[in-house]
Amino acid sequence: MDELVVSTEVYADPEEVYAFLLDFPQYANYSEYLREVRTVTGDGGPGTKYALTFAWWKISYTARSEVTGVDPPERIDWEITKDIDAGGCWRVTPPESVEGDGDSADTDATPSDDAPCEVALEVEFDPGSASSDALNLPRLVSFDWVLKKAIPLIRDEAERVVERAVQDLEGSTRDVDLDVYVDSDRI
Average pLDDT score, the chain? 88
pTM for this one?
Answer: 0.85
Helices 14-22 and 143-170, interaxial angle, to 10°? 140
pLDDT tens digit string along 15-42?
Answer: 999 999 999 888 889 999 999 999 999 9
pLDDT tens digit string along 120-148?
Answer: 999 999 988 888 888 888 888 888 888 88
Query: Looking at residue 144, which CATH number applies to its domain?
Result: 3.30.530
What is the reported pLDDT for 70? 97
Q: Contact 45/70 with Cβ under 8 angstroms?
A: yes
Task: List all residues 6 or more positions away from 149 whose beta carbon is below 8 Å from its beta carbon.
Answer: 57
Q: How many CB atoms lie within 10 A of CB 100?
A: 13
Q: Is the pLDDT of residue 105 over 60?
A: no
In a domain, 101, yes or no: no
In a domain, 134, yes or no: yes
In a domain, 60, yes or no: no
More confident residue, 64 or 24: 64
What is the reported pLDDT for 6? 97
Alpha-carbon distance of 62 to 37, in angstroms, equals 9
In a domain, 104, yes or no: no
What is the reported pLDDT for 146? 85
Q: Is the pLDDT of residue 162 over 70?
A: yes
In a domain, 50, yes or no: no
In a domain, 139, yes or no: yes
Total number of domains in the chain: 1
In this prediction, residue 12 has a pLDDT band, given cuts at 50, 70 and 90, of very high
In this prediction, residue 97 has a pLDDT band, given cuts at 50, 70 and 90, of very low
Omega within 30 of 0 (cis) for the link into 73: yes
In a domain, 63, yes or no: no
In a domain, 12, yes or no: yes
Show the DSSP H helices in 81-182 as ranges: 143-170
Provide, rounded to the nearest whole percent, the portion of the chain with pLDDT above 70.
Answer: 91
Q: Is the pLDDT of residue 113 over 70?
A: no
End-to-end, the C-alpha distance of the chain in Å comes to 12
Structural domain harbouring 145: 2-24+69-96+114-183
